[in-house]
Structure 1
């Protein structure tokens, strides 16, 4: 067993190592998604479901400042009955606070929920706890996991540019090289040449425009 986790990077935290391990485990089971195009076709449905998470987000954003802070996150995970250590909660917060403003915005919260879903050993248990008025949430998270597995051809828990090109080529896209390069650059937030599941999720929220939620319906 053992082996190299990611050729171009090693996990920064125990939490990321767990994510890579969970994704490798999922990759070993294969994916039901046949092509990158079929992921794109699912965008509207995914978008619709994820926007419904806004109610959960607002429930835990107790001071209604548009972001979930460290204490609010702890309460959120407790309510979901998800057991994480203090260190894991800290890592999860840091991992999802992409702009490092000490608060989890809505799009960051969507990513966080999906990572929690991936890390739960017992998905059915999580499913029962996480519904909270958002039908199809687990199915949507499952689709996102499946989409990443499709791209991660060598099943190492990361997506490389070569793998992205290969996935877009399989879709039969014309000028697939430039498209794949653009998509990959949008995903590779830290510009280190490989994309983790977290980076993939952040790119996904950008592609479907989830980060714009809230800008139009502010309560001010």
Structure 2
């Protein structure tokens, strides 16, 4: 399928682009060809609270699969989780996913990493059986949320290549906020928060991680310790 595009653009990018990430980019291109229902970047920002709320509901699922309750899901727990959700991934795919989302490389899925993982699963599997499994677990709103995130990414990805570039991000933000001088700066800040490997391109995974930070998912753990804050 010619998935070599953009492989060698940056030395770091070439290492991180696993089979999984290539699949992810291809899935995004397919989605991009259908277009996005988002009309503006503000559209996306307005959805933050709703997205935040529905992602927090995953906490129960996360805790259910974090069998030793250490705040992280290890590879074995993840395999059992997939089995229970009836997500038919091969061992290799699960390992790939785990590696892709285990940002701290501490062999444990933190809550925000788990959310990113579920969202990638949603993107990569158009498998009706998996959908039933998810709704059995009472996760139908989650799908709507993942759909919103996919849609947001597609909205930003103007040239439909499966990546969001810095100029696309500026373009998306300037479309909305004409005349607000600060919007370009905000765009840059948002973009820098997304572009971890600093290669000027953001894939869906990087986008999702930034997103969990923007809506504050990754500090859920801290809150529980300091109710009085």
TM tier, smaller: over 0.9
Aligned residue number for residue 134 of structure 1: 139
Deviation at 1:6, TM superposition (A): 3.2
* Alpha-carbon distance in structure 2 between the residues aligned to 1:125 and 1:43: 29
Using the TM superposition, give the Cα deviation of residue 4 of structure 1 relative to its aligned residue in structure 2, in angstroms: 6.0
Listed one character per residue, the Cα deviations across residues 42-83 of structure 1 (whole Å, up to 9, x for unaligned) are 000000000000000000000000000000010111111111
Equivalent residues in 2 for 1:89-108, closer than 5 Å? 89-108=94-113
Write 1 or 2 for the structure with the bigger share of helix: 2
Q: Partner of 2:149 in structure 1?
A: 144
Superposition TM-score, scaled by structure 1 size: 0.93
Give TM-score scaled by structure 2 length: 0.90
How far the C-alpha of 1:2 sits from its partner, in A, is 4.0
Give the structure 2 partner of residue 193 of structure 1. 200
What is the 5 A alignment of 1:43-54?
Answer: 43-54=48-59
Given that residues 5 and 157 in structure 1 are in contact (C-alpha distance below 8 angstroms), is that contact kept between their aligned partners in structure 2?
no
**1:120 Cα offset (Å):** 0.5
Do 1:24 and 1:155's aligned partners in 2 also have CA atoms closer than 8 Å?
yes
Figure out how many residues of one structure are paired with residues of the other and give that number: 217
Please list every run of 5 or more consecutive structure 2 residues that lacks an aligned counterpart in the other structure: none
Give the Å deviation of 1:142.
0.1
Matches of 1:139 and 1:133, distance apart in 2: 12
What's 1:216 paired with?
223
**Is the CA contact 1:160–1:193 (under 8 Å) kept in the aligned structure 2?**
yes
Could you say which residue in structure 2 is the equivalent of 1:6?
6
Counterpart CA distance in 1 for 2:146 and 2:53 is 13
What is the RMSD computed on CA atoms of the aligned residues?
1.7
